[in-house]
Amino acid sequence: MEKTEKAGSTEPGTVSIGQQFDLLAVVDTFCCWYRQALADRNLQLTTKISPQLPRYFLGNEILTRHVLYQPAKNSFLYLGSGEVLLEIAAEQLAGRRYALSCNLTLAGRGVPPAREKELFQPYPGHARQSIRDGFRLRCANLYYARIIARLLGGDLRLDTRAGSGTRYRLEIRLLAGLG
């Protein structure tokens, strides 16, 4: 049976508790994909995954995957040279409630200040334009990823300095599963 509860986000909404899923398997699959995508660009991925991260959570696995993958996909626009750092941790809030945080830090040129606000804007009005304009197409992914993160009780933010690099900061709330 599926329960619904109020999300602890800045925007009103509800999220479905959903089914139990293996978060460590989701993270492992993500890391394998991202490590290979970076290797194709001659870059390395360093991961720091908290040993306190519970394996099983109740929630929507598809939405969790979406908010994890979209910042990484967007990051390909701003990769420089050097290393990419992925940090994933969970902080126990109360009982079985956790705040899951994911920080993706890129060395490199960073997001240009003029583009920063555009990263979280919806698709442009004309579908034909959005297909031609790959930048906006990828930006829209962050727009929807932020909405999903907020519905999951968290947020998706960006810290950037042109010429220095970028950090994508994702936080969502999850309920630890049994097992």
Question: What string of DSSP letters covers the chain?
Answer: ---EEE--SSS--EEE--EEEEHHHHHHHHHHHHHHHHHTTT-EEEEEE-TT--SEEEE-HHHHHHHHHHHHHHHTTT--SSEEEEEEEEEEEETTEEEEEEEEEEESS---HHHHGGGGPPPPS-HHHHHH-HHHHHHHHHHHHHHHHHHTT-EEEEEEETTTEEEEEEEEEEEE---
Residue 99 falls inside a structural domain: yes
pLDDT at 1 over 60: no
Q: What is the CATH number of the domain that holds 153?
A: 3.30.565.10
Specify the length of the chain in residues. Answer: 179
Distance in angstroms (rounded) separating the CA atoms of residues 127 and 11:
27
Residue 50 falls inside a structural domain: yes
Residue 160 lies in domain: 15-174
Task: Give percent above pLDDT 70 in the chain.
Answer: 77
Residue 69 falls inside a structural domain: yes
Residue 21 falls inside a structural domain: yes
Q: How many domains, the chain?
A: 1
Residue 24, pLDDT score: 92
Residue 3 falls inside a structural domain: no
Residue 10 falls inside a structural domain: no
Residue 72 falls inside a structural domain: yes
Residue 47 falls inside a structural domain: yes
**Range with the poorest average pLDDT among 7-11, 26-30, 140-144, 151-155:** 7-11
pTM: 0.76
